[in-house]
Chain A
């Protein structure tokens, strides 16, 4: 390479970084902390990043996966992450009770995303049959849903054995326990593939009057107060990404698989389909994606209060902000 080429190269190298910088000035850097590892449960966010929807909204978004040892509420409250997709109404309640300054601006899953599963050929046919049986569930809220369901069936907590559920559903598959908890989009797939759908009897919390919206979008109170346009832009871009991912599920799966290529495609396809059903169910059918349905949340709150999960009533109007979505035209929110 002669000197002139070298100089031109140098000049180009100096000039090039200046070009994105000029554009980047209008972009605000932000992060989204997911509630779990990269999978199609979060496909819409990845699609929105890939298609540049966040950039169009003025946000340079980085998606940070969650994990078994992370609490999204803490990371958002501490400012380590801007946005968070957190556990659900339950974890928002818990965070608010601990005075963490976070607010919820969107709810992804409008119906309870988990079900309780027993063997179809086993002795459990109704909730009353749970008496004397061994159940595993997540002690992060699902346990109270089950306690509530069983209380209505006339069972007291001493009538059955409830254990914390570990990573694997293998103990249930191997017959060591009688009832297992499964999210519709994840563990249920594993159960189906290992045992067959017809071998499973499913108890749905919503059938028993307990709806427990989960997968909540959260921001810190400070962000909500100081940067309302960014929060609105984030919700808008996320909805656009999700609309694309739900309409073209192959695109959704492809986008996620590009980020995490070792995932099993059939499982991811199933997950996106099931997660999508939860997202358009209930009040979302008329109010659009991410709708924050205050009556449902109030009911979940009262249920938790009644069962002593939260000690004192919470100021739900301060914790949940449906007005961010209300500021976006309904037609743009529909799936």
Chain B
């Protein structure tokens, strides 16, 4: 409770500094508008911002969830079958070095202006860090612990679910926190390829109409979404990896 009060205080302070700096230093609106102007712009058409927020949130979540599932599965498969790891991981690495924007136009051709198209880009950015960190986490398990469990007669499945996956969780969560921000980036970039709803669409419209207040309004929405999502993942981490969350 105390911590959240402090957080609220910090946000209020940051807002006051923003507002005050613009007024005191006479910063031009085209450089940085006042916070109250930005909030008023959101309040003027709340529906547009809310539906954009929801749409982008859903795209992010779907991409993130798919990326997590596929990433953990990849990690397990690569852990069990090093041959596959040696064959496929380099290809994954290559795929990640291609800037995501290069795929945007293709994804539009394949999936059209659908929610899926954005989720696919969010997925593309999420699955790789999860794959690598799952693999890393599984490898970090002490072989003596595995040997101990095996000496008790534990099956492979039991070792996996009782020892290896739990031990890999701290590493996996590092990737999930990264994935939380990356999947939002993916969703917003996806929306830049001709969609009608979303924070990315609002951002693009504002940018090209040189409507600085609307740019900041969209940035604010993206920040709330990104921070909120990150906080949720961090909260889940604290609950699930109660023995060693690193914060």
Contacts and interface: CB of A to CB of B under 8 A. Distances in A.
Interface of A: 31, 33-34, 36-39, 62, 64-71, 74-75, 78, 80, 167-170, 190, 259-264, 267
Contact of B45 (A34, A38, A62, A262): A262
B41 to A, nearest CB: 8
Interface in B179-195: 192-195
A34 B205 CA distance: 14
Interface residues on B, range: 20 to 34
Nearest to B205: A37
B208 A70 contact: no
Contacts of B210: 167-170, 190
Given A75-B109, A262-B217, A263-B209, 6 more contacts: A34-B194, A37-B204, A64-B194, A70-B105, A80-B109, A262-B205
A123 B107 CA distance: 48
A66 B204 CA distance: 11
A68 B208 contact: yes
B113 A64 contact: yes
Interface in B202-246: 202, 204-211, 214, 217
Nearest to B52: A262
A280 B179 CA distance: 52
A37 B206 CA distance: 10
B45 A261 contact: yes
27 contacts: A31-B112, A33-B194, A34-B194, A37-B205, A37-B208, A64-B112, A64-B113, A64-B194, A67-B192, A67-B193, A67-B194, A67-B204, A69-B101, A69-B105, A69-B192, A70-B105, A70-B193, A74-B109, A168-B210, A169-B210, A260-B48, A260-B205, A261-B47, A262-B45, A262-B206, A262-B217, A263-B209
A39 B204 CA distance: 12
B58 interface: no
A68 B113 CA distance: 15
B196 A69 contact: no
A133 B230 CA distance: 50
B196 A259 contact: yes
A39 B41 CA distance: 18
B194 A80 contact: no
A291 to B, nearest CB: 28
A260 B51 CA distance: 11
B30 interface: yes
Chain A binding surface, main DSSP class = loop
B210 to A, nearest CB: 5
A80 B112 contact: yes
A259 B101 CA distance: 26
Given A261-B47, A263-B205, A38 B196 contact: yes
Contacts of B195: 64-65
Given A37-B204, A68-B204, A69-B105, A262 B194 contact: no
A37 B205 CA distance: 7
Given A37-B204, A65-B195, A69-B104, A264 B47 contact: no
Contacts of A71: 105
B163 interface: no
Contacts of A170: 30, 210
B108 interface: yes
Contacts of A67: 192-194, 204
Interface in B16-62: 30, 41, 45, 47-49
B118 to A, nearest CB: 13
B112 A38 contact: no
B196 A267 contact: no
A70 B108 contact: yes
A267 B205 CA distance: 13
Contacts of A37: 201, 204-205, 208
Contacts of A260: 48, 196, 205
A264 B211 contact: yes
A168 B105 CA distance: 24
Nearest to B189: A69
Contacts of B108: 70, 75, 80
